[in-house]
Amino acid sequence: MKIAYISTYPPRECGIATFNKNLMLAINANFPKRKTLLEGGFVVALNDSENLQEYEYPEDVKYVIRQNHQKDYIRAANYINTSAVDAVILEHEFGIYGGESGIYILPLINRLEKPLISILHTILKDPSYVQRIIIREIAEQSSKIVVMSKRAVEFLTTIYDIPVEKIQIIEHGVPDLEAPEENPVKTLTPFKNHRVMLTFGLISRNKGLETVVKALPKIVAKHPDVMYVILGNTHPGVVKHSGEEYRDHLKSLAAQLKVSQHLCFINKFVAEDELIDYLTAAEVYVTPYLNEAQITSGTLSYAVGAGAAVVSTPYWHATELLADDRGRLFDFKNSDALAETVNELLDDDALLNELKENAYEYGLHLRWPVIGSEFIRVAQEAAATHDFSDKILKNSIVDPEVLPKFSLAHVTRLTDDTGIVQHAKYGIPNLKEGYCVDDNARALIMALMAYQRNGSQEAYRLLPIYLSYIHYMQTEDGNFRNFLSFDRRYLDEVGTEDSFGRTIWALGHLISCAASNSYREFALELFHRSYPHFKALRYLRGMANTIIGISLYLQAYPTDDGMVQELKRMTQPLIDAYDNTRSDDWEWFEESMTYDNAILPLALLHSCEITGDEKAKKIALTTMAFLDKLTLSNGYLSPVGNDGWYHRGGKFPTFDQQAIETMAMVLMHFQAYQIFRKPQYIEKMFLSYKWFLGENTLRAPLYDHETKGCCDGLLPTGINRNQGAESTLAYLISHLTVLKAFELEYEYNKIEEHVKLC
């Protein structure tokens, strides 16, 4: 029995990493002839860094996944499939995988050809839509789901609708160690001549340690020899964002309460053989978590396994594990109740020892070798019953291997402290052309999408630059100028309707998915100031861009009835334009197809998603089909060229093809999929995107792998080698949309498989 483990792994400091290492050791302990962990399989490790060399992994780790690199997940699946393992164990925690709530793990498990056993470390009582989808999909792809408590089974069956027969309870393992006869920890200063209360584990605010500090005055008043020891480093994620602010807060609180001499931090990550010494040296072990939503606690399991006298708040795992007098419970944040409970135990040695004995006896069946044998049985059953032929596999509609690595290099080259420069000579910014609000609006959308995807700090730093530019270009009456010279002189009094609409789109996007409250409030102010100009719009594309912005705004503020009515009012001219122009051979809004054509059906798709207008939906689908027939019928995208446009009854112009046409096609088909859930739209979206990579009329790529920019268009003579903001942003927005679509692969592949079976 060889197993591949997908998990974080030491030396990364993470509870899941420690658990997985212990599980590997426990399983191998049941095969005494094995001399190394590698004989029993290997680890696919999750990195929280872009750097593959961030951690010095042992030889057990054979593949590393960078958390936010979607391609790494696909390659890991291929690596596992071509290996000699008999089964795969997945450690699941939402925060260790990339994408929204860790959705990047789904394409990996969807491609596995080996039986999968998934261990769920967190099961939420109130999951988001995406979180619920992820757990359900993991369950569907797994031979067994392993959880560590009865409450977890209840949640999975009632909240996630997972069949009970697919769920297996295997409790959290604990070290197979006994307390030493001479405990070296008892000679340490915090323990020597003290009765110690202990908490261990990575430190963060959700641990509720301040409750214990607040209880100390009443405990110390009766037992002046008490010392509260907090053992463990601050969580690396907390250090990255807040430093040691929480630890300093606890020290300050202790000083205010005059118990500083009774609080001690031991700031280190201890190995298990050392941890048993600390646990058995303490009189009382405390887990003061702040709320009930803790389905599993490894530190609690370790304390019980070591035979500690445990006092805890009544979170889900604690209520089960400490039942039958294996510990004591006190209410959340109730420092008085904690003090009373601890004093009662310290007053009565017989009661204290009884708790310890009960915990120790129960902990014997939690020892890691015992737990390992249970996992071996589950893995053997999964391997024996696994029939890969039952799993319908197909190549993904979206092939992540063809996507270049996402890079903001050219965007940052074009961006200064004013905004993004309009044009470039080849890959070099052309400062003579200055800036425009069109491009800064697109840049704001792109930066938001990049930040949403993986929390890119590079993208986050760009956001205030583009938002500031938009603010600078807004006039006193709420309209927007468009052009600004390099020396920051206004070059127009009022911009075009297109630039107005694109700015509203960007503001609506920011309002719907703000990176911070201050950004949302700023965007709301600009958005509402511009509102009086909505009624002045006369051209369809200006209206279409504005419609998209309003629709995005209404995703955040759906009860704004006035804005809903404005959306309906603005949608009507597009409907009227179609009704007045269409014929059996011309399903379009105007007598000519000009530029940014897909933006018109895209706007109707956004509008009908909010309003439910069936006529708008029908027109959107009809005009989409007409546009697809004209531009995708050759098996690649050939958008309407700018050289003369396409007039009813005229000749279709092949050149000049522009990147914004392609971006609109990508966005249109993805929006169609989000509404109608038909895989054909994902296929057309990806086909359109590949125009940038060379699947086009000239079979020439417009994306430049050297500069990370996008060329400005296809000419009859070849490629326009200039790489301005418009084309580069069109490419990046398209790229990010494709990555977003790939996150939904589990869904559209399943739909397509169902259609084939029917």
Position 387 scores a pLDDT of 79
Position 395 scores a pLDDT of 62
On the CB side of 284, CA atoms within 13 Å amount to 29
pLDDT tens digit string along 487-510? 999 999 999 999 999 999 999 999
Mean pLDDT check: name the lowest of 164-178, 252-266, 522-536, 613-627: 164-178
8 A C-beta contact, residue 189 and residue 266: no
Position 394 pLDDT exceeds 60 = no
Q: How many CB atoms lie within 10 A of CB 429?
A: 21
The angle formed by the CA atoms of residues 102, 103 and 106, to the nearest 5 degrees, is 120
Q: Which of 41, 49, 8 minimizes the C-alpha distance to 24?
A: 41
CA 657 to chain centre: 35
> What residues contact 53, with CB distance under 8 A and at least 6 apart?
none
pLDDT tens digit string along 631-676? 999 899 999 998 889 999 999 999 999 999 999 999 999 999 999 9
8 A C-beta contact, residue 633 and residue 700: no
Position 749 scores a pLDDT of 76
* Phi and psi angles of residue 595, each rounded to the nearest 5 degrees, phi first: -120, 160
Position 115 scores a pLDDT of 96
**CA–CA gap between residue 154 and residue 151 (Å, rounded):** 5
**Over residues 377-385, mean pLDDT:** 94
Beta bridge partners of 435: 421, 484
Position 648 scores a pLDDT of 94
Pairing between β-strand 167-169 and β-strand 144-147 as defined by DSSP bridges: parallel
**CA–CA gap between residue 393 and residue 385 (Å, rounded):** 18
Pairing between β-strand 713-715 and β-strand 718-720 as defined by DSSP bridges: antiparallel
Position 390 pLDDT exceeds 60 = no
8 A C-beta contact, residue 471 and residue 484: no
**Angle 725-742/659-676 helices, nearest 10 degrees?**
20
pLDDT tens digit string along 46-72? 999 888 889 999 999 999 999 999 899
Give helix then strand counts, H and E, for the chain.
27, 21
Identify the residue whose tokens are 């699941």.
Answer: 92
With H, G, I as helix, E, B as strand and everything else as coil, classify residue 184: helix
**CA–CA gap between residue 330 and residue 322 (Å, rounded):** 12
Position 757 scores a pLDDT of 43
DSSP state of 37: G
Q: Which of 269, 323, 324, 278 minimizes the C-alpha distance to 303?
A: 278
Between 726 and 13, name the one with better pLDDT.
726
**CA–CA gap between residue 334 and residue 286 (Å, rounded):** 13
- Per the structure block, which two tokens stand in for 567? 């959306």
Position 725 pLDDT exceeds 50 = yes
**CA–CA gap between residue 210 and residue 205 (Å, rounded):** 9
Q: What single letter denotes the amino acid at residue 597?
A: N
Position 746 pLDDT exceeds 90 = no
The pLDDT-based confidence of 613 (bands split at 50, 70, 90) is very high
DSSP state of 474: B
pLDDT tens digit string along 580-601? 999 999 999 999 999 999 999 9
**CA–CA gap between residue 74 and residue 399 (Å, rounded):** 10
With H, G, I as helix, E, B as strand and everything else as coil, classify residue 234: strand
pLDDT tens digit string along 314-360? 999 999 999 999 999 999 999 999 999 999 999 999 999 999 999 99
Position 28 scores a pLDDT of 94
8 A C-beta contact, residue 748 and residue 679: yes
**CA–CA gap between residue 149 and residue 172 (Å, rounded):** 9
> What residues contact 593, with CB distance under 8 A and at least 6 apart?
627, 630, 640, 645, 646
Kindly state the helix (H) or strand (E) to which residue 75 belongs, with its residue range: helix 70-81
- Per the structure block, which two tokens stand in for 43? 């680890």
The pLDDT-based confidence of 297 (bands split at 50, 70, 90) is confident
- Per the structure block, which two tokens stand in for 56? 């010095």
pLDDT tens digit string along 567-580? 999 999 999 999 99
> What residues contact 341, with CB distance under 8 A and at least 6 apart?
311, 328, 330
**CA–CA gap between residue 423 and residue 429 (Å, rounded):** 6
8 A C-beta contact, residue 382 and residue 681: no
8 A C-beta contact, residue 608 and residue 550: no
Q: How many CB atoms lie within 10 A of CB 314?
A: 15
Beta bridge partners of 117: 89, 144
Position 758 scores a pLDDT of 44
The pLDDT-based confidence of 239 (bands split at 50, 70, 90) is confident
**CA–CA gap between residue 345 and residue 328 (Å, rounded):** 10
Position 399 scores a pLDDT of 85
Longest dimension (CA), the chain: 97
Q: Which of 384, 388, 312 minimizes the C-alpha distance to 345?
A: 312
Q: What single letter denotes the amino acid at residue 480?
A: F
